[in-house]
Structure 1
Amino acid sequence: MPTDHLLPRFHIRPPRGYLNDPNGPIQVGDTTHLYFQYRPSTDTDVPVEWGHASSADLVTWKLHRPAMAPEPGGPDTDGCWSGNTIIEDGKVRAFYSGRRNDLEFQPVITSLSSDGGATFDAPELIGLDPGPEEGITMFRDPFAWYADDGLHLVVGAAGPDQTASIRHYRRTDAGWSYIGDLASLVRQDVAGNDSGEGWECPQVYHLDGRALAVVSSWSHADGPANVLAFFADQPERAVRVDDGPSFYAASAMRTSPYGPLMFGWITEGRSPDWWEEDGWAGTISLARTVALGPDGGLRFAPVPTVDSLRSGSGSAPVDGGGVEIGAQAEISVPHVDGTVLLEFGGSESVEITVDTGAGTLVLDGRHASRDERAEPWRIVVDDAYDTSAGAPALRLFLDGSVIEAFTSAGRVATARVYPTQAPPWRITAPSGALTWALDGAGDRSR
């Protein structure tokens, strides 16, 4: 069955292969570079390399050759895993975890780019492995940043008694020094979320003078769970970054023309045999602005330049019998109660309920595909609306099999849909809703 309509067109991904964690978004001059975990095939035993995309506006991306590949026999011989980048003396420096199947821990590695972030030199081992007496069972994914007192770096870890931690280091004239945990938490339920046995992909923002940590909760037995955010001094008050089932491994861009940004890996929601058959899996989320709301809570929104994806003659009001749409579309819904129905045809649909009185947004994708290999889902977003924010109650972005839903209170939910029916599709919505065709850029992400 042809499924080309499921391939995202304006989200970052190559036309084939397996993509996962975004890494090291950074601005060099007027260009943003974003790296990502990538295998040119869907064989997940193939060592990971750093794929590379660049953009002048954070929404239209150009793919390049991989910026980094494993060095045979080197400290990353089995894969160049997750990390981030900084600007050092005008050059791009990467910090990342090397994969060595014969080592207990993934070594922390650095590598320098002398061509503006296009390629990186040979890996240099830093060597920050915990001592055996510490009982650390997982250690990976460095994240570095400059502060007034020099260069800082954190690494995610899992320790004794299922204690997740962010290990904190600082570079001095004598080398790297471990200065304790930036944060740690014994595994527990935090507001309905598993805090994790360990924390992968730690990211650090500084908002209003406070260190905000973003981690991917993980356990040896269950693997990845959710992306959580908390102020470093209050990990027990962690909140979910995304209310959907398909967002993981967040990557921070600490500064941009629009302030702090976040990217994430949009995971698949279908069985591996299907994406192996199609020859591709995974994509990168839209760039999201990160801010604190008046109540001190986190708020996310798509970068303003996402509006440039709108194509055609402009918005179409969604009234009466609805509007036909293609596989790339945006739907905007005002603060009115009602149901948005995204109909793919052949009894395949997604139902979205806006309830401003209850403050909830419900997205129901249990009937989005007739193919039993697609995973059913239902999302409830609480405290979803803020009429004072100057934003629609809901902005929903559809890109083939990707749905990203942003609310006026800065909540976001990401999910996957796999309709067997190709477009045209149909959207019906409450009075005042608008839809736009979005330009897949003639495949801008290629």
Structure 2
Amino acid sequence: MTDLALSSSLVSASMHPDPAFPRFHPRPAQGWINDPNGVSYINGRYHVFFQYNPLSARHSQIQWGHVSSPDLVRWEEHPVALVPQVGGPDSAGCWTGVVTLDDGVPTACYSGVQDHGGHSQVVIARGSADLVSWEQDGHVAASMPEDPMVTAVRDPFIFLFGGARYAMQGAGLADGRAALLLYSVSYMNSWEYKGIWLTTAHPVAAEHTPAEIWECPQLVEVPSASGGSAWVMMFSLWLSGDDHEHANGVGHLIGSLSADPETGLPVFEPSSGGKSDFGRDFYAPQIVQLAYGSADVDDPDPDAAAAEPAALLWGWANEGPGRDGRRGRTQEEIDDAGWSGVLTHPRVLSVADGALVVTPAPEVEAYRGASVAAGSAGSVVVPGFAEVLVRGGAGADPGAGARSVELVLGLGADSQVVYSGTVAPGEELRIFIDASLVEVYRSGSVATTLRAYPAPGEGWQLTLPTGATADVWELTLPA
């Protein structure tokens, strides 16, 4: 095992030939990564798997990489977990899926594809107690439904409701609608297909989550600021022609989950929705349900059944050719760097006033190091690895309302505005800069995920509106 808090942060990042390589978002030093997979909390550790090609910075020969942590701060890299099996149902890739406990055994359920033009199937693999060793015997738990309307299926997700285990997969239909398929999972080795569960024909879904295929579907219960909880369903919004651009991004629906009075099956009824991230460089998030405040949906504390549910999200920030006026990277530059893709900080989900609220997991405050600015106004120089807390002030004109904050990379004619957004009186922005990854969290709202690539000698600068102030800390790894 490799301690990523040492290898990718202090050693690999500081010595990496690419200054854009992140230090505080653990990932292997080389290779392609995309979707977070198998996010779980088992036997006292958080596990994050991810789509991985260790051989190049391109999207091919997809396997499952694996990191784990006891505290969301200190991470260890483990050997590759899942690899395509020659002649098996996953011979063309081990694609997106989840990890859960099945009778106490760590079990991966993922999309396996036999050929690059074929349909996916749900493939099962069993893991060791520490989730480091995996047995792949090619068992298929669910194949494509025998429904001519269903033309694409992918990305299984498992959830619990009413004491029973269910699963869903994202899908595309012959008439152009995106859809969810529902399964009953009484036995992990054999999923029972229950039919098309939800589609973009629903008016709330049509408004907030338009797509041709709902990829990476998620369904979790999160606390509500008004008391109780709400169910959040999240999708990555795939359109034909997407090539890691994903212009529709990620959307979510907020609603209720109840049992059908005739069948007993869960029924999701959305009431609102929206974008799950406002950045153009965010896709394919995965959420882990942390039940009863015990951080383990598979082994909840029976004495804490009345406590709030919780959920943590990780997303994928891809490399890009430049968007919204930001300078990007060419494929040749990505190949030369030898790596591609970053996972975001873990994010906490909740609902307030019918809207999704996303905040960084409190554990990431452990990276907060020396203070470099406190209560600063006007123009503030920001280190290349930093956390910034911006507080909106009343300003010179109380009637002016919100004003813009700008995060700028570089100076003069070659500078670029990486982030620009308003900050209202009493509002806060938390901004994290990790080399080429920028995450902006607005109080009471969702995050904005962006990529930007410092050229040699370039620095960051924050411009604040009148009345706003900023505290800035340099990021460092805890001892």
Q: Which range, TM-score by smaller chain?
A: 0.7 to 0.9
Q: For 2:386, give the aligned amino acid.
A: A
Structure 1 residue aligned with 2:249? 226
Distance 1:407 1:45, change over 3 A: closer
Distance 1:181 1:385, change over 3 A: farther
Give distance in 2, aligned partners of 1:27 and 1:273.
38
The counterpart of 1:332, out of the listed 389, 408, 416, is 389
The 5 A counterparts of 1:277-288 are 277-288=336-347
The counterpart of 1:299, out of the listed 339, 357, 362, is 357
Render the CA deviation track for 1:86-119: whole Å, top value 9, x for unaligned: 1222221111001221663111111111232112
Deviates more, 1:400-409 or 1:256-265: 256-265
The 5 A counterparts of 1:101-250 are 101=115, 104-122=118-136, 123-131=138-146, 133-172=147-186, 175-186=190-201, 195-207=210-222, 208=228, 210-222=230-242, 224=246, 225-231=248-254, 233-234=268-269, 237-250=272-285
Q: Is 1:80 the equivalent of 2:94?
A: yes
Q: What SS is found at the alignment partner of 1:221?
A: coil
The 5 A counterparts of 1:57-68 are 57-68=71-82
Residue 233 of structure 2 contacts residue 252 of structure 2 at CA under 8 Å; is this kept in 1? Answer: yes
Alignment TM-score, normalising by the size of structure 1: 0.82
Q: Is 1:435 the equivalent of 2:458?
A: no
Distance 1:236 1:421, change over 3 A: farther
Residue 401 of structure 2 contacts residue 425 of structure 2 at CA under 8 Å; is this kept in 1? Answer: no
Give distance in 2, aligned partners of 1:427 and 1:364.
5
Q: What SS is found at the alignment partner of 2:332?
A: helix
Deviates more, 1:44-53 or 1:281-290: 44-53
Alignment TM-score, normalising by the size of structure 2: 0.77
Alpha-carbon deviation of 1:358?
4.6
Structure 2: state its 5+ residue gaps: 1-15, 223-227, 256-267, 296-308, 321-328
Q: For 1:259, give the aligned amino acid.
A: A
Higher relative contact order (CA 8 A, sep 6+): 1
Deviates more, 1:55-64 or 1:69-78: 55-64
The 5 A counterparts of 1:350-361 are 358-359=401-402
Identity of aligned residues (%): 29
Alpha-carbon deviation of 1:186?
4.0
Q: What SS is found at the alignment partner of 1:11?
A: coil
Give distance in 2, aligned partners of 1:298 and 1:181.
26
Render the CA deviation track for 1:122-180: whole Å, top value 9, x for unaligned: 1321133121x432222100011233342211110000221111101002369422223
Q: What SS is found at the alignment partner of 2:81?
A: strand
The 5 A counterparts of 1:391-410 are 393-410=428-445
Give distance in 2, aligned partners of 1:367 and 1:40.
32
Alpha-carbon deviation of 1:191?
9.2
Q: What SS is found at the alignment partner of 2:364?
A: helix
Distance 1:71 1:42, change over 3 A: same
Distance 1:127 1:88, change over 3 A: closer
Residue 3 of structure 1 contacts residue 420 of structure 1 at CA under 8 Å; is this kept in 2? Answer: no
Structure 1 residue aligned with 2:50? 36
Give distance in 1, aligned partners of 2:477 and 2:289.
28
Residue 97 of structure 1 contacts residue 140 of structure 1 at CA under 8 Å; is this kept in 2? Answer: yes
Alpha-carbon deviation of 1:45?
5.6
CA RMSD of aligned residues (A): 3.3
Render the CA deviation track for 1:183-235: whole Å, top value 9, x for unaligned: 21149997986611110000110235654211101022335331111036455
Residue 314 of structure 2 contacts residue 343 of structure 2 at CA under 8 Å; is this kept in 1? Answer: yes
Residue 188 of structure 1 contacts residue 196 of structure 1 at CA under 8 Å; is this kept in 2? Answer: no
Q: For 1:421, give the aligned amino acid.
A: P
Q: What SS is found at the alignment partner of 1:274?
A: helix
Structure 2 residue aligned with 1:350? none
Q: What SS is found at the alignment partner of 2:158?
A: strand
Q: What SS is found at the alignment partner of 2:134?
A: coil
Structure 1 residue aligned with 2:60? 46
Q: What SS is found at the alignment partner of 2:279?
A: coil
Q: What SS is found at the alignment partner of 1:433?
A: strand
Render the CA deviation track for 1:37-67: whole Å, top value 9, x for unaligned: 0111335363111111111221332222111
Deviates more, 1:61-70 or 1:168-177: 168-177
Give distance in 2, aligned partners of 1:249 and 1:364.
26
Give distance in 2, aligned partners of 1:329 and 1:60.
18
Deviates more, 1:185-194 or 1:23-32: 185-194
| Count of aligned positions | 414
Distance 1:115 1:369, change over 3 A: farther
Structure 1: state its 5+ residue gaps: 339-354
Alpha-carbon deviation of 1:413?
0.5
Alpha-carbon deviation of 1:14?
1.2
Alpha-carbon deviation of 1:428?
5.1
Residue 201 of structure 1 contacts residue 249 of structure 1 at CA under 8 Å; is this kept in 2? Answer: yes
Alpha-carbon deviation of 1:424?
5.5
